[in-house]
């Protein structure tokens, strides 16, 4: 079993993230960025909590171009936020549908609006507002002089490049799940209901050291699966089934994301052939993954192998997961 990384990050990690963000903000002429989603708030604060799963309370973090971040959060999160490196924490008693932090935001951002400041917010792909639209409209109407700028690329460019400490956590959760998959012969068996296979896999991940298994998808059928997004059924695993499980387990807020395929007792010739092609395509992609290589070149390296059985480039628009 590999060494367990230290939880959290030293303050210098957050200082480095902030400095890089502020440098990019200055280049873009931004006076600050308002963040409202879990990954971005946690990236600059280390604020890790299950409370993000509830849509009841909004959470805000303002990142100025020249100062430390300011948290505007429900009072229930104040104690945890005080354990981070954030010093300026402004709270309200939430939920408060008539004023869920809006007055606090207006007090903070109002002076910037009066001088025609440029405020960055996340507008791009895979971003969400994470506050009621009515509250957002009220906030914007109270900041008539503010110019809104899409800050998605700033945050994305920062988070795409992982620090050594982040890589250590990602490697750790990948090792945990790899060990779980290696125990397949002990976890899965002929006659096992698919829903029980899912449950047993989750339990083994936790036993191996994962914090949580919030995402687990998969399927099983003769010679291959066709549906991997439905909840697992009570159908028992049969000889000749191909079972696939795709998981996003977590450690200290960092995810793994990969799948494995298993033949129950046996696999037909076509399944063996497809597995071999996909294995070689993955190896080709990893061998091609070097600094300076484009995602298009990685795709083509894999497609050159996969074209042995499918020359249409797949049906989902990608191979694996891109950055």
pLDDT in tens, 213-238: 999 999 999 999 999 999 999 999 99
Total domain count for the chain? Answer: 2
Residue 294 domain-assigned (yes or no)? no
Residue 192 domain-assigned (yes or no)? yes
Mean pLDDT, residues 267-294 taken together: 94
d(CA 162, CA 235): 41
Domain boundary among 122, 138, 160: 160
Measured N-to-C along each axis, helices 38-45 and 11-28 cross at an angle, to the nearest 10 degrees, of 120
pLDDT at 313 over 70: no
The predicted pLDDT at position 315 comes to 67
Residue 202 domain-assigned (yes or no)? yes
Residue 40 domain-assigned (yes or no)? yes
Domain boundary among 104, 128, 160: 160
Residues 177, 209: one domain?
Answer: yes
Residue 224 domain-assigned (yes or no)? yes
Residue 105 domain-assigned (yes or no)? yes
Domain range enclosing 184: 165-267
Query: Tens digit of pLDDT for each residue in 132-189?
Result: 999 999 999 999 999 999 999 999 999 999 999 999 999 999 999 999 999 999 999 9
d(CA 188, CA 185): 6
Residue 273 domain-assigned (yes or no)? no
- Provide the 10 A C-beta neighbour count for residue 49: 15
57: domain CATH number?
Answer: 3.40.350.10
Name the band, by pLDDT with cuts 50, 70 and 90, for residue 309: confident
219: domain CATH number?
Answer: 3.90.230.10
Nearest to 197 by CA among 207, 205, 206, 187: 187
Name the band, by pLDDT with cuts 50, 70 and 90, for residue 84: very high
Rounded (5°) CA angle 213-219-222: 155
The predicted pLDDT at position 311 comes to 75
The predicted pLDDT at position 322 comes to 61
Dihedral sign from CA coordinates of 293, 296, 297, 298: positive
Nearest to 107 by CA among 81, 56, 136, 72: 72
Domain boundary among 160, 182, 198: 160
Q: Which two tokens stand for residue 18?
A: 């902030």
Residue 4 domain-assigned (yes or no)? no
User: Computed over its alpha carbons, how large is the radius of gyration of the chain?
Assistant: 23
pLDDT at 314 over 80: no
pTM equals: 0.92
């Amino acid at each position: 079993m590999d060494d367990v990384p230290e939880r959290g990050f030293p303050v210098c990690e957050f200082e480095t993230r902030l400095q890089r963000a502020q440098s990019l903000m200055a280049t873009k002429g931004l006076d600050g960025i308002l963040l409202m989603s879990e990954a971005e708030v946690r990236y600059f604060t280390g604020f890790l909590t299950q409370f993000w799963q509830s849509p009841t309370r909004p959470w805000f973090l303002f990142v100025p171009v020249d100062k430390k971040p300011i948290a505007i959060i429900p009072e229930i999160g104040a104690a945890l936020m005080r354990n981070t490196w954030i010093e300026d924490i402004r709270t309200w008693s939430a939920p408060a549908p008539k004023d869920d932090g809006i007055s606090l935001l207006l007090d903070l951002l109002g002076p910037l609006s009066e001088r025609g400041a440029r405020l960055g917010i996340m507008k791009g792909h895979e971003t969400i507002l994470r506050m009621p639209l009515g509250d957002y409209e009220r906030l914007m109407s109270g900041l008539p002089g503010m110019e809104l700028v899409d800050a998605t690329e700033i945050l994305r460019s920062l988070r795409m490049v992982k620090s050594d400490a982040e890589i250590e956590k990602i490697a750790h959760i990948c090792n945990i799940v790899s060990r779980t998959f290696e125990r397949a012969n002990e976890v899965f068996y002929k006659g096992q209901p698919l829903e029980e296979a899912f449950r047993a896999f989750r339990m083994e991940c936790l036993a191996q050291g994962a914090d949580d298994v919030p995402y687990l998808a998969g399927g099983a059928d003769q010679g291959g699966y066709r549906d991997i997004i439905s909840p697992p059924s009570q159908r028992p695993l049969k000889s000749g089934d191909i079972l696939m499980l795709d998981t996003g387990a977590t450690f200290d807020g960092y995810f793994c994301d990969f799948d494995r395929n298993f033949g129950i007792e046996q696999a037909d010739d076509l399944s063996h052939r497809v597995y071999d092609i996909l294995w070689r395509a993955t190896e080709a992609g990893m061998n091609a993954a070097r600094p300076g290589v484009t995602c298009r070149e990685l795709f083509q390296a894999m497609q050159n192998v996969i074209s042995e059985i499918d020359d249409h480039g797949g049906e989902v628009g990608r191979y694996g997961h891109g950055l």
